[in-house]
Amino acid sequence: MLIRSVRQGDAQRWAMLRHKLWPTVDPDELTAEAESFLKGSTTPTIASAFLAEEGATPVGLIELAVRSFSDGCESMPVPHVEGWYVEPPLRGQGVRRALMQSAEHWARERGFSELASDTEIDNHRSLAAHTSCGFIEVERLIKLRKPLA
């Protein structure tokens, strides 16, 4: 198992995993965002991304954005885990931890002192995966919107 930063030529393979993580998002949008990052454009949602590979096959990803703040964190700005995904057959085997360690290393090297993340309230496996990687639950929120017609 190899964990590495995304690089030129990864857009399609990376986007395929992104689509598995975010199946309701337009796949073209996910690919365009990946391509844009790989071309060096600043994107508000991706500051860094790593793939886990088994042979030449990508089997997991982690993506970080640097947010201006994140609820419950002590530092600003703060790197936020925007996406964390491991292919189902490889879950429970430590891939998640290796991906998170790469993200932590990236953040430490840039002088950040903590990572932020979030998860849906009923995603018990994700919450357990976070806490087993050292995350501490700090808050529970209800998000709301009001369309302004």
Question: Cβ of residue 34: shortest distance to ligand COA, in angstroms?
Answer: 16
Nearer to ligand COA, 67 or 96 (CB): 96
* Binds ligand COA by CB under 6 A, chosen from 21, 32, 38, 98: 21
Question: Cβ of residue 147: shortest distance to ligand COA, in angstroms?
Answer: 26
Binding to ligand COA by residue 1, rule CB under 6 A? no
Distance between CA atoms of residues 3 and 53, nearest Å: 6
Contacts with ligand COA in 34-93 (CB under 6 A)? 83-86, 91-92
Nearer to ligand COA, 8 or 47 (CB): 47
| Long-range contacts of 67-75, Cβ-Cβ distance < 8 Å, separation of 24 or more | 67/116, 70/116, 71/138, 71/139, 71/141, 72/116, 72/138, 72/139, 73/114, 73/116, 73/138, 74/113, 74/114, 75/112, 75/113, 75/114
Distance between CA atoms of residues 112 and 56, nearest Å: 31
Residues forming the site for ligand COA (CB under 6 A): 21, 83-86, 91-92, 95-96, 119, 123-126, 128-129, 132
